[in-house]
Homo-oligomer: A and B are copies of this chain.
Amino acid sequence: YAAKARENLSDTKTLTPPPPLPMDADAVVVLGGDGTLLSVARQVADRDIPIVGVNLGGLGFLTEISREHCFQDLDRVLSGAYDIEERMRLRVALERQGREVFVQTVLNDAVINKGALARIVDLDTHIDGRYLTHYRADGLIVATPTGSTAYNLSAGGPIVYPTAQAVILTPICPFALSNRPIILPASSRIQVQLDDKAQDVTLTCDGQVGQRLAPNDTIAVVMSPHSLKLIKPASTDYFDILRTKLKWGQT
């Protein structure tokens, strides 16, 4: 999708160029951090290839195998001692004058936000065709449960267990103090429309692929039919990672 969209649009900017991916792979081992895995996940978009992540740096939410346990854990995975965790993804489409001009499948989030010099962004939001509200804010995050511990957390959103079926809508620095994060059913159809004066507003997918927006653009987000298959070594535990990354439990 992305490649096609990029031909038409001069404004698209890919922050992390994705590596090429062989067509006949059974599984992909990602060496790197969560960012690398996100990029690979977009590459496997609609294919059914499971991914396993080895973290070369610290500890990741997605890359759950650490460098030191790398060979041991991969041995186990090859011998069949693993689970496959299905992580829901979002299909993010940019609609301009009635046409889809840009489509991405994201594992973490789609973020609409204003540039540094813009004052505020005005966003009309509909859920399943019903009016939700008008956000005046620095931006708006639409996140998956997997993405809940990424940008969403910094913006004040809640942690959502990664295999939960839900979509998170978190405004960034909203003008109205009562504009709290909202958790919607995974089946929700979310539409976010810019007003006719919008300028210097960007859509960013998984923090990596950016797309400059134009006045009256609409961002339509639904659950992707293609979940990501994440290979989990038997030894890893989400709550362990959570406690470590968020420094819980140490007085």
Contact = CB atoms under 8 A, between A and B. Distances in A.
A173 interface: yes
A251 B136 CA distance: 9
Contacts of A210: 116-117
Interface in A220-251: 237, 239, 242-243, 246-251
Contacts of A157: 158
Contacts of A119: 15, 207
B183 A58 contact: no
A110 B214 CA distance: 28
A162 to B, nearest CB: 10
Number of copies of this kind of chain in the complex? 4
A40 to B, nearest CB: 18
B180 A164 contact: no
B131 A239 contact: yes
A201 to B, nearest CB: 7
Interface residues of A, number: 65
A192 to B, nearest CB: 14
A17 B217 CA distance: 29
Nearest to A209: B117
B114 A116 contact: yes
A3 interface: no
A215 interface: no
A183 B183 contact: yes
A204 to B, nearest CB: 7
A177 interface: yes
Given A116-B210, A127-B239, A166-B164, A249 B183 contact: no
A163 B185 contact: yes
Interface of A: 13, 15, 58, 113-117, 119, 127, 130-134, 137-138, 145, 148, 151, 153-161, 163-166, 168, 172-185, 188, 200-202, 204, 207, 210, 237, 239, 242-243, 246-251
30 contacts: A13-B117, A15-B117, A58-B251, A113-B116, A116-B200, A116-B201, A116-B204, A117-B202, A117-B204, A130-B239, A133-B239, A134-B249, A137-B154, A151-B173, A154-B175, A157-B158, A158-B181, A158-B182, A159-B181, A159-B183, A160-B183, A161-B183, A164-B184, A172-B173, A176-B249, A177-B180, A178-B247, A178-B248, A180-B246, A247-B247
